[in-house]
Amino acid sequence: MRVIVADHPLITHKLTYLRDERTDSPTFRRLAEELVTLLAYEATRDVRTEPFSINTPVAPTVGIKLANPKPLVVPILRAGLGMLEGMVRLLPSAEVGFLGMMRNEETLEAVTYANRLPDDLSGRQVYVVDPMLATGGTLAMAIEYLAERGARDITCVTLLSAPEGIAAVEQATRTISPPVTLVTGAVDERLNEHGYIVPGLGDAGDRLYGVV
């Protein structure tokens, strides 16, 4: 797995406010959206394009446009929804599929409770968005699932990642065929005994949408 830590000062600045416990929900949502736009710039560096002929007012020229099939963006509900708008703003022609997944807070194992994705992902570039990569169970399960359906390559965009989670996803993706890339805003110190990222930002879903 290729890991890109996009530690641009603007990203780290916005992440600092996002982490701050005093940041309220509306501000948290706005910052998450702004952050994903900055991360998406890095994450889409290898998006597939094809030549596109146009005429400027001065001369004909050949540029590029996104190739077909268009990329698929997959937010992992709930917290990934907070990154969807920023992602599709940058990729307006992308399609969107949904995976609903939650961690069992006792066992820390991921459970899938919703799935609305095209059956056949052959040839598709897939961008998975979820703010948090903690133990890695959720992302590993999502990646395996997308690979089984034939995704051509899979790029995961997270705001924060734990070293333990990166190692777990690396291990889990060792045997799958599509290339996997992780683009993250920061790699934090560790996980605590409850599986939360330290220093992290708490529960991203709760901070975006309220405590469940």
Ligand X SMILES: O=c1cc[nH]c(=O)[nH]1
- DSSP, residue by residue, 41-90: HHHTTT--EEEEEEE-SS-EEEEEEEPSSPPEEEEEETTTHHHHHHHHHH
**195: contact with ligand PRP by CB under 6 A:** yes
Residues 183-212 that bind Mg ion (CB under 5 A): 203, 205
Is 107 assigned a catalytic role? Answer: yes
Q: How far apart are CA 21 and CA 209, in angstroms?
A: 15
**3: contact with ligand PRP by CB under 6 A:** no
Residues 104-163 that bind ligand PRP (CB under 6 A): 108, 110, 130-139
Closer CB to ligand X, 151 or 204, in the complex: 204
Q: How far is CA 27 from the centre of its chain?
A: 20
Q: Which of 145, 113, 35, 130 is nearest to 73 (CA)?
A: 130
Is 12 assigned a catalytic role? Answer: no
**79: contact with ligand PRP by CB under 6 A:** yes
Q: How far apart are CA 205 and CA 212, in angstroms?
A: 9
Is 120 assigned a catalytic role? Answer: no
- Catalytic residues, by residue number, are 103, 107, 203, 206
Q: Which residues bind ligand PRP (CB under 6 A)?
A: 76, 78-79, 101-103, 108, 110, 130-139, 165, 195, 203-205
